[in-house]
Amino acid sequence: MGQELKLLLSACLVITSAVAGAEYVRPPPRRTLDFPWSPRRPSSPQQVHVSLAGKKHMRISWVTDDKSAPSHVTYGKSPGRHDFAVEGLSTSYSYLLYKSGKIHHVVIGPLEYDMVYFYKCGGEDPEFQLKTPPAELPVTFSIAGDLGQTGWTKSTLDHINKCDYDVHLLPGDLAYADYMQHWWDTFGNLVQPLASARPWMVTEGNHEQEFIPLVMDGFVSYNARWKMPYKESGSSSNLYYSFEVAGVHVVMLGSYTDFDMYSNQYRWLMKDLSKVNRQKTPWLVASFHVPWYNSNFAHQREGEEMMATLEPLLYAAGVDIVLAGHVHAYERAKRVYNGKLDPCGPVHITIGDGGNREGLAHRYHDPQPEWSAFREASFGHGELEFVNSSHAFWSWHRNDDDEPMRSDHAWISSLGSSGCLAGKRRELWKVLVAPRST
Ligand SMILES: *[C@@H]1O[C@H](CO)[C@@H](O)[C@H](O)[C@H]1NC(C)=O
Ligand SMILES: [Fe+2]
């Protein structure tokens, strides 16, 4: 390297570190997409999406303008031949002057594993198709949080559409409707091609809150539209739940609801984690919106309170991987616990790079913390393949590159195969019981 270049680089470094003391500033906003969407008939299904709903069952959700459209789904294993019909439920909500369409939720099943089903909503065209996840490993997740509905989002969705995955996981911040209710509808239509074909498992972010003191409860739109299997997993709130797919147990937690030791979420989580059978589900994954390990300027230490309460519990339970969003960038941490490298802690990944209108979070704290393995502010998505009971393959795919290109990747070996779990059982017991007996 030439001397001048070195000088130039160090000058740049001085400038960036001088700037680094300042507050995080978001890049300029990006325009939201236009959607010239018009359903053919008022009873035509819109915003169709599917989610896992307990063993061998899936929930089909859609919206109609027609308030008398029936909540029923017909389905079968070949196109046009629907041997099964199921009746479900519907809901709707008002938000200030906005009135939602009729929101239908129908649970279908029992379904065969790893099978394509053809289905229609309310007897109306078009016929959709979905694929159920496999019964056993391997199983692949695609992951992207903080989606929004911009050209960047479209690019992320196009990339996800090119990969071969079984379940999409979204760690919060879906539509960026931010009180403008019709943006929930346009978001539903934007994601329909993907979300009607594979289960979308979501948890809430700050943009789902839409709380107006004394006037509107939080999460009204989110809960009505994105109903997750909370009842199926013994939870009393749509804001946290769990599901199992192939050999993976996933807890979807709520960063924006109570998580203290005496909260319903904490109690439910203890119960859920103590039921996990690592013979049946060797992999244990947790997902929530606000990251605990984040070296970006954006949302620095926002997750501290939740981390203080829940990190020991997740650690004791032997969670393998934690997936978060919120920070609009990508960061992969090594196995870590209590701020330090720990071979028995989870791998933390921030994947809030779905492409919403707020743009990227470019600025990082230097030096890069010891636990941080890779960080970059680019839009993209993650793919997580659980290959077998001991090995999983993680890759990150930047939107700027062709989908098959892996911009970052890592093999992750399970805690079960590392011997970390044996001593942990006793520790978990202590964590679970100690706070109760004091
Ligand atoms: C699991 O997959 C990894 C990676 O492909 C392989 O090296 C390992 O032998 C496999 N283990 C078993 C038990 O099949
Ligand atoms: Fe967020």
**CB count in 10 Å sphere of residue 10:** 10
Whether 159 is catalytic: no
Per residue in 166-185, pLDDT tens?
A: 999 999 999 999 999 999 99
Q: Which of 104, 299, 348, 381 is catalytic?
A: 299
Burial class of residue 14, CB neighbours in 10 A (0-12, 13-18, 19+):
exposed
Per residue in 232-248, pLDDT tens?
A: 999 999 999 999 999 99
Torsional class of 154: left (φ above 0), alpha (ψ -120 to 50), beta (otherwise): alpha
Nearest-CA neighbor of 171 among 24, 316, 381, 31?
A: 381
Question: What is the spatial distance between Cα 151 and Cα 191, in angstroms, rounded to a whole number?
Answer: 13
**CB count in 10 Å sphere of residue 425:** 13
SS3 141: strand
Domains of the chain and CATH, by start: 46-131 (2.60.40.380), 139-436 (3.60.21.10)
* Ligand 1 mutation pick, 137, 140, 391, max ligand atoms within 8 A of CB: 391
With beta carbons less than 8 A apart as the criterion, state whether 403 and 159 touch.
Answer: yes
Q: Which residues contact 418 (CB under 8 A, 6 or more apart)?
A: 343, 344
Nearest-CA neighbor of 243 among 210, 202, 302, 189?
A: 202
CA angle 258, 261, 266 (to 5 degrees): 65
Question: What is the spatial distance between Cα 99 and Cα 92, in angstroms, rounded to a whole number?
Answer: 8
Nearest residue CA, atom 10 of ligand 1? Answer: 388
Give yes or no for a cis peptide into 126 (omega within 30° of 0).
Answer: yes
Burial class of residue 422, CB neighbours in 10 A (0-12, 13-18, 19+):
exposed
Distance, CA 27 to ligand 1 centroid (Å)?
A: 43
Give buried/exposed letters for 185-203 (b at 16+ CB in 10 A, else e).
bbbbbbbbebbbbbbbbbb
* Ligand 1 mutation pick, 387, 393, 418, max ligand atoms within 8 A of CB: 387
With beta carbons less than 8 A apart as the criterion, state whether 185 and 47 touch.
Answer: yes
Nearest-CA neighbor of 42 among 61, 62, 66, 63?
A: 66
* Ligand 1 mutation pick, 390, 394, 413, max ligand atoms within 8 A of CB: 390
pLDDT number for residue 103: 98
| Residue 194 DSSP symbol | H
pLDDT number for residue 404: 87
Question: What is the spatial distance between Cα 290 and Cα 427, in angstroms, rounded to a whole number?
Answer: 26
With beta carbons less than 8 A apart as the criterion, state whether 314 and 343 touch.
Answer: no
Cα-Cα-Cα-Cα dihedral sign, residues 31, 63, 213, 254:
negative
DSSP string, 208-248: G---BTTTB-TTHHHHHHS--STTTTT-S-TTSEEEEETTE
Distance, CA 205 to ligand 2 centroid (Å)?
A: 5
List the structure tokens of 286. Answer: 């947790």
With beta carbons less than 8 A apart as the criterion, state whether 169 and 216 touch.
Answer: no
pLDDT number for residue 39: 67
pLDDT number for residue 98: 96
Q: Which atom of ligand 1 is nearest to the CA of 388?
A: 1
List all residues whose CB is within 6 A of at least one atom of ligand 1: 387-388, 390-391
Task: Spell out the SS3 assignment of 31-57.
Answer: CCCCCCCCCCCCCCCEEEEEEECCCCC
Secondary structure of the chain: what % helix, strand, coil (to 5)? 20, 30, 50
Distance, CA 135 to ligand 1 centroid (Å)?
A: 18
Residue with tokens 């954006």, as numbered in its chain: 298
Residues of the chain with pLDDT under 50: 1-22, 437-438
Question: What is the spatial distance between Cα 67 and Cα 372, in angstroms, rounded to a whole number?
Answer: 51
pLDDT number for residue 30: 72
